[in-house]
Amino acid sequence: MQKIIILLSILVCLSFGAEAISIYEIQFTSSAGSDGTFPSPYLGRNVSTEGIVTATDYNEGGYFICEKLNGPWRGILILDRNAKVKKGNFVRVSGIVSEFYGMTCLQDISQTKILGSDNLPQPVLITTSQLTNAGEAEAYEGVYARFLNVVSTGNKSSQNRLKVTDGSGTCLVWNNQFGIQQKSKHTVNTQYASLTGIVIYGYSEFALCPVSTSDFHLLQPMSVQNRSWGSIKSIYR
């Protein structure tokens, strides 16, 4: 009888514990919901998930993680101002699945455990047009991603909201979500070999948000690309 009571007690404790699931399971949904923001099917539930920290010092408080195998539906925001994590940490996090102004996240964090460190996964290559349609862009919310061969076409309402295109469609890049400022480079017709960052949803639109200044990779003119460093120096002798 005593063994049965102990077993039942264990089962009750486990039932109130965090459910261990993947980031993909938290994020994936085909339902737009009543407000069109594609809320998580696990909304309001206490879960535990694991991932690699891809960005810290998010302005709203918190950081982002993604699965080791990066891809659509495999990144998420962790709202925790007190977390002591760094980029590259592999962590296990427990908290409540919530929607932060339409962006799925974990908050009310009950546990954060650093399991080790790892290299950042390769950013997912996406086109600018993929962030212009909510149904398609939702899959990349919270994901570590990259544009290739884009050009700036202007600013939207402020210098921190840059319009860019790779020829497939125009979307936004926000450069002020992680404490960096790149205003001087945000001029019309600036060409970038690549732009890397976290896909974030806010103000009813999706944007790529660079995490550091190195995420802005300017495209070198062909005249420079095709010359060796020695030949370039010889011009100034």
> What are the residue ranges of helices labelled H in 96-203?
134-137
First to last CA, the chain: 93
pLDDT at res. 181: 63
171 dihedral zone (left: phi>0; alpha: psi -120 to 50; beta) = beta
What tens-digit pLDDT sequence spans the chain (237 residues)? 454 443 433 333 334 478 999 999 999 999 998 888 999 999 999 999 999 999 999 999 999 999 999 999 999 999 999 999 999 999 999 999 999 999 999 999 999 999 999 899 999 999 999 999 998 999 999 999 999 999 999 887 666 889 999 999 999 999 889 977 655 456 788 999 999 999 999 989 999 999 998 999 998 765 444 545 454 444 334
pTM, two decimal places: 0.84
Query: How many Cα atoms sit within 13 Å of 189 on the Cβ side?
Result: 0
Determine the residue type at 75: G
pLDDT at res. 234: 44
Question: What are the counts of helices (DSSP H) followed by strands (DSSP E) for the chain?
Answer: 5, 13
Q: Which domains does the chain have, with CATH numbers?
A: 17-117 (2.40.50.140), 124-218 (2.40.50.140)
pLDDT at res. 221: 65
pLDDT at res. 185: 54
